[in-house]
Structure 1
Amino acid sequence: MKKYVNRIILAAVLVVGFSVAASAQVVVRARLNAPVVVRPMAPSPHHVWVDGNWRPRHGHYEYSQGYWAEPRRGRHYIPGYWAPRRHGYVWIEGHWGR
């Protein structure tokens, strides 16, 4: 019985450890500036521009270009932003809201 309890505890520790590592945020001392992008022409009047996002990768941020998207009815795009933290800033990704 003790053997099974130890395995369950070990499994729980591993799951929590991996979930914390997966949700870890990268903190930078200064907000990063997005590169200057020439926005291409919209595919239709219904499309909206989705700004580029900073994505954490291997301990730093990489920029992904913006794109045109056709929103679903009742949705709008909320742009990403740099949120202040204790030792710098973290990027909060843009997302679709109601």
Structure 2
Amino acid sequence: MKQIIILSLGILLLSSCASDYYVAERPAPPPVIVQPAPPYPGAVWIGNEYRWRSGHYYYVQPHYVRPRPNRTYVPGRWNSGPRGHSWQRGHWR
């Protein structure tokens, strides 16, 4: 039983690892959105983001989040290379 649990956790961990998905063309540019006032002091604006689903990138609306202690948010960006374009998600550093 213990081995089954350990094996299941290992599979779950490996399946959740992020990988790069490449497309020949980037999606259409996101709409221009005026950044609203923060809903509370210290709120961090998460700008334009994309996620991968069903074989393509889709746009995620910008929004505010609570800051993480002692961290700085690094916005996402497009990477281009010989395999095409891939989105590097925003993350906390």
Structures share fold, TM-score greater than 0.5: yes
Q: CA offsets per residue over residues 7-52 of structure 1, 9 Å max, x none?
A: xxxxxxxxx9xx68x8553322233322212322211231121113
> Could you say which residue in structure 1 is the equivalent of 2:67?
71
Letter in 1 for 2:25: A
TM-score between the two structures when normalised by the length of structure 1: 0.66
TM-score between the two structures when normalised by the length of structure 2: 0.69
* Unpaired stretches in structure 1, ≥5 consecutive residues: 1-15
Q: List 4+ stretches of structure 1 deviating above 3 A.
A: 22-25
Identity %: 37
- Say if 1:23 and 1:72 are closer, same or farther in 2 by CA, change over 3 A: closer
* Unpaired stretches in structure 2, ≥5 consecutive residues: 1-10
Hey, which of these two has a bigger chunk of helix by percent?
1
Considering only CA atoms, is the larger Rg found in Structure 1 or Structure 2? Answer: 1
Taking only aligned residues, the RMSD between alpha carbons, in angstroms, comes to: 2.4
Tell me the distance in 1 between the aligned counterparts of 2:18 and 2:42: 34
> Could you say which residue in structure 2 is the equivalent of 1:86?
82
